[in-house]
Amino acid sequence: MQKLKKTIIYFCFFLVPFLIFGQYLPSRNYSTKDGLPNNAVRSLFLDSENVLWIGTENGVSRMENGSFFNMDELDGLGHNSCWDISQDTNGNMWFASYGGGVSKFNGKKFTIFTTKDGLLANKTRKVFPYKNKMYVGTEQGVSIIDINTNKVVTPKMPTHKEDFICISFFEDDGEVYFTSIFDGLYKIDESGEIPKIMPIILHKNTYCLALFSSSLYSANDGFIDKFDILDIKNRKFTSSKFGKSTVWQFAKDKRNSIFAAAWGVYNPNGGLFRIEDDKMIDVSNQYGIDSKVLLNVVYDKTKDILYVGSNDKGIYKVRLDKIIDYSPFDGSSVIDFENFDKRKFLLHNKGVTILDSNKEILKTISLSEFKNVEQAYLNKGNNSINKQGVKSRDFELNFNIKADGIVFYEMVKHKNSFWIGSNIGIFEINSLGKIINYVPKHSLKFGFSSNDKFIETITYAGVRVYDDIYKLKSKHYSKFEKDTPQYIVQILSNKDKTYLLSVFNGLYVYHNNQFQSYLADEIWKEKKFKHITINDKGQLILAAEFGNVFIVEDSKTFKVLKTINKNKLVGKTILFLEAYKDCILIGTEKGMNIYQNGVFRLIDQEQGLKDCNFTTSQIFKNQLWLGTEKGFYTVDLDKLLKEQITVLGIAISKIAVNNIPIDKFNYKWFKYTSNKLVRDYQQNSFSIDFIPKGYPFPEKLKFRYRLKSNNRWSPYSDKANLFFPYLPYGDYLVEVEVFDSNAGKSTIFKLVDICVEPPFWFTWWFISLIILFISSVVFYIINRKRNIAKDKACKEKQVAEAKFEALSNQMNPHFIYNTLNSIQAYVGSNDERNSSLYISEFAGLMRKTLKNSPKQTITIKDEVEYLKSYIFIENMRFKGRISSEIYIDPLIDEATLEVYPMLLQPFVENVFVHAFDESHPFPKLKISFEILESKILECKIIDNGKGLNTRKQSKFHVSRGIALARERILLLQPANVDPIKIEMTENDGTTVTIRLLF
């Protein structure tokens, strides 16, 4: 019996180190509930833009940005049962259907090839592109289609007993090979005008071929044949055989790992396998694949994603980048992590487990071992009651708790030991995983100060600080002292200070063997904290209970450097807080928020954190370890925090106007081909669906839009759809801003120009016609009024001329009467000489009068000559004793400047009639013409006669003469308000000033 026990112990000792907890990669399953047309996936294909195409038993689907876009026979597909998909060198997609031939799709329409077009059979299995041809594998052999001319050529098939099912192709050194399930490997010889089928290896049961480098993998019934292609060309057909299931497709990733999708048909041994060293390693469980009926596997090297198709549960997407790994850890709840050298110590609900650098289990300390240590301590006869210190109101231990009732609180690393708190006491474990000490203390939170003192927090009873924890020598701090820490949730040492975080009383510090409350001393008024850590600058980072995160400097002076508002975080409850380089990692129930230089990112279940109920966290070098209720995650921080790709562009996938989809000819490759959308004013409600391109995490995207560059942005939405109801007429440049919470970036894209044309009464041509019509009417009215005004002015001018002529005719008789009196006087005095001279001058004056009277204006030269003649005649009555002078401004051009005829004559006449008598010693008359500013001609008649006396004697005559002259001027110059001024002085002459406009 003793020997048996030793054997068991020996076996466990050597077996345990080889146990390992499998690493689970982030994966997701897509099925009909996500939009897939059918869960029976017959084919997978990644096109030149890394868009995944899925062939199912109910049509073809295309997956972009996590959404499925389906096509079937109603869209033009030849047959719904699609067994293979490929793409030719022209970019056309080809679909092999089991019963409907082959369908070629150019982005807009389908071209169907069947037996009517020369295809060997309508039941097709494979389509394989090479150069300008598409090779079609059918149930009866191979047909070749020219992708440019659509010409179908079918070579003669070899003699065969069963269906000559062509199921797989590959190309090597410019030659195309294929395999028939029941007949073996063949080569297509196209050296002649007609292709020929040449046998290479004749054997049964080949379901799939894959050529990687020089290794040709041939899937047989329940195993794999591995050939060397060079040996085959040299007619050496030996192969290595391995495996345990039937493979239907191979794929190779950028790490040169080969994957095989397998289905055992009649055996339940299918799944996803990784081929290593000629072995098939089942990785289905590790990759989250629960189907045993796998037919397809393809690899997206740009995103490092493996897509796996099943015949019963849809498709699986597996991320291979290993940024986030998950270990179920046998369903254990992880409480804390610590490390020593390259080993990791995991405290969980079942004990303590030590892992090596490869996460292999080196040792596990079970619950019973902890209970045994406690029991051994009691068995030594120690007085446990005294050790607990009832006088200081310790939280009493219950020594009757059984092993399965042990509850662990935390694990604290100090030097080379690990201290574990539990409901049965505190245990010390050395670096080899051996329990070396037991302390009968029940503390929910304990730690070590920067000067290596053990700090025990006592629920509702203050704190005890131990100089020697092993001898339980301590100093107790009463809770009634203001600086005594209470309700402590975390203890952290930084340099020479130890910080104690309270959930109710703020931040405490232990420094120089003294406690200090920052809240009580009014250093910091923040009360409720949950987490604390230190960044690479030695600054404190603290998370408050209600979500705010603080960056604090507490070296020489205390200062809050930055506050990260809780509204910026996704999630309500902070579950862990860590710092790495310049990043702050904040765990919530929604995932991990990453704060870096003002930028926020979110890592959640889409990237691999499916369980966000975090229990603990630790950073070891560049790895973040996160504990959960069921296992733990390891996160490669360097990969996670590097520059992330984001959305490369967006494309419109669907447009509906007034709830009616626009015609399909507007699309090519499922995208709206124009960058503009024009509709009239009655078609002004738009629904637009768009697809972000080239992005692996669609659930991390949020969208907002604006219709014009000067508009505000709309609120963010996670829907890739825009709806614009009843847009007013005008032009709208629709811009979409995409926020990527994985990368923490926003990108603005111009989506489409929408032009809502105005109603016809607001169109330019209609408005132009209206303006032209109104302008014509206005022009007609203005022109008519102008003509009326012109006619009126013409008539008024005629009236004025008539009045002027009448006035002129009024003055002429007066002058003639005076002249005839003078002639009569000469004749009566028998003065023949003067009579003749007078009559001669009078006759000349009359000629000038008759000449000038009909004219509206005459030149100053003519006016001066007329005045000279008149003055000469009048002066003869005074025997020539009145001296006269006529002055003309040198600026005046006598020959061109004109005045009204006989305008000055009445005033000159008044001088001779009223200004002088025979007693006047030196009678003098002066007439001047001068140019003033503002185009005014000033005419003055100046005499040195009797002046005011004469004015009184002849008031009526002078007033009448002035009135007649003024009336003449006003008739012809209405703007000349006061044209005539008369200045008279008693016995000192008269000055008449006449101003005319020219």
> Considering the chain, what percentage of its residues have pLDDT values greater than 90?
70
Beta bridge partners of 884: 925
Q: Are 228 and 267 in contact (CB under 8 A)?
A: no
Per mean pLDDT, which range of 541-550, 890-899, 954-963 is the poorest?
Answer: 954-963
Instruction: Domains for the chain: give ranges and CATH numbers.
Output: 41-260 (2.130.10.10), 326-442 (no CATH), 528-642 (2.130.10.10), 649-759 (2.60.40.10), 765-997 (3.30.565.10)
Residue 390 token pair = 């009832």
Q: State the DSSP string of 361-379.
A: EEEEEEHHHHHHHHHHHHH
Residues 6+ apart with CB under 8 A from 495: 450, 538, 555
Per mean pLDDT, which range of 210-224, 348-362, 630-644, 971-985 is the poorest?
Answer: 971-985
Q: Choose between 20 and 235: higher pLDDT.
A: 235
pLDDT, one tens digit per residue, over 714-724 is 999 999 999 99
Identify each DSSP E strand in 402-557 by its residue range: 408-414, 417-422, 425-430, 435-439, 446-448, 454-458, 462-468, 473-477, 488-494, 497-502, 507-511, 514-517, 529-534, 540-544, 549-554
pLDDT at 321 over 70: yes
Per mean pLDDT, which range of 93-97, 325-329, 460-464, 542-546 is the poorest?
Answer: 542-546
pLDDT at 821 over 80: no
Residues 6+ apart with CB under 8 A from 600: 568, 569, 593, 594, 741, 744
Handedness of CA 785, 791, 794, 799 (dihedral sign): negative
In the predicted model, what is the mean pLDDT of residues 80-86? Answer: 97
What's 180-197 look like in SS3? ECCCEEEEEECCCCCCEE
Handedness of CA 908, 909, 910, 916 (dihedral sign): positive
pLDDT at 425 over 90: yes
Q: Are 110 and 97 in contact (CB under 8 A)?
A: no
In the predicted model, what is the mean pLDDT of residues 281-303? Answer: 95
In the predicted model, what is the mean pLDDT of residues 343-368? Answer: 95
Q: Which residue carries 């020479």 as its tokens?
A: 496
In the predicted model, what is the mean pLDDT of residues 855-868? Answer: 88
pLDDT at 423 over 70: yes
State the helix-helix crossing angle for 860-877 and 832-852, rounded to 10 degrees: 150
Q: Which residue carries 């045993």 as its tokens?
A: 292
Confidence of residue 155 (pLDDT cuts 50, 70, 90): very high
Handedness of CA 511, 517, 523, 529 (dihedral sign): positive
Mean pLDDT of the chain: 89
pLDDT, one tens digit per residue, over 173-206 is 999 999 999 999 999 999 988 999 999 998 778 9
Q: Are 328 and 63 in contact (CB under 8 A)?
A: no
pLDDT at 282 over 60: yes
- pTM reported for the whole predicted model: 0.75
Q: How far, in Å, CA of 706 to CA of 713, rounded?
A: 5
User: What's the gap between Cα 466 and its chain centre?
Assistant: 59
Instruction: Using alpha carbons, select from 787, 788, 734 the residue that is nearest to residue 756.
Output: 734
Q: How far, in Å, CA of 482 to CA of 502, rounded?
A: 13
Q: What pLDDT is stored for residue 396 in this prediction?
A: 78
